[in-house]
Amino acid sequence: MKKILVVLTITVMALTACQQTPKPVVVDIKAEKAVLDSIFKIFTSAFNAKDVATLSSYLREDALCLGTDPSEFLNKQQMTDAWTQMLSGGAPEINYIGERKIHVAADGNSAFVVDQYMMPAYCKIPWRNAYHMVKTDGKWMILVLNVAFAPKNEDIPKLDSALQ
């Protein structure tokens, strides 16, 4: 019995050692950033055109969408409904702050995209949309969308005082 166990162990080790290691996949990060930037240009155009169908087509079925209120944890359908309601009266004016930030993971299968902007129709506090993107069947999709206020650090004491 001992001999069989020793022979089996040696055989398993030999077979494992003889397997070829897979070659690492080289990802063109610059090309992936360009693809993501073009997707978000379409996404922004769809928002301005009040095209909710196109907006929601970029959300995965299991997407998690976070609004500015701590209670806003929305799924794809709820986010689609929120966009429909928001855009029913027209797309609000959006003034972007700085450039879009895109960070692609080394494996090329996930990324983070950030847009910052002002929406004067709603408030004077800057907004930030952060998107966790994942590649599904070769297509970039939004897994997590986070909408948040992004006040300047020097404005935080003023905001805090106003809330007291």
CA angle 131–135–139, rounded 5-degree value? 105
What's the Rg (C-alpha) of the chain?
Answer: 23
Sequential pLDDT tens for the chain (164 residues) = 667 767 667 776 766 666 676 677 788 999 999 999 999 999 999 999 999 999 999 999 999 999 999 999 999 999 999 999 999 988 889 999 999 999 999 999 999 999 999 999 889 999 999 999 999 899 999 999 999 999 999 999 998 899 88
Q: What does the pLDDT read at residue 163?
A: 86
* pTM, rounded to two decimals: 0.82
Q: What does the pLDDT read at residue 15?
A: 66
* Residue 72 φ/ψ region, left for φ over 0, alpha for ψ in the -120 to 50 degree band, beta for the rest: beta
Q: What does the pLDDT read at residue 27?
A: 87
Structure tokens at 58: 């970029």
DSSP states of 25-94 as a string? Answer: PP--HHHHHHHHHHHHHHHHHHHHTT-HHHHHHTEEEEEEEE-SSTT-EE-HHHHHHHHHHHHTT-PPP-
Q: What does the pLDDT read at residue 25?
A: 72
> Residue 80 and residue 51: Cα distance in Å, rounded?
10
Q: What does the pLDDT read at residue 89?
A: 86
Q: What does the pLDDT read at residue 22?
A: 67
> Residue 18 and residue 141: Cα distance in Å, rounded?
38
Q: What does the pLDDT read at residue 2?
A: 67
Q: Give me the CATH topology for the region 27-151.
A: Nuclear Transport Factor 2; Chain: A, (3.10.450)
Q: What does the pLDDT read at residue 91?
A: 80
Domain range list for the chain: 27-151
Backbone φ and ψ of 98, nearest 5°? 70, -165
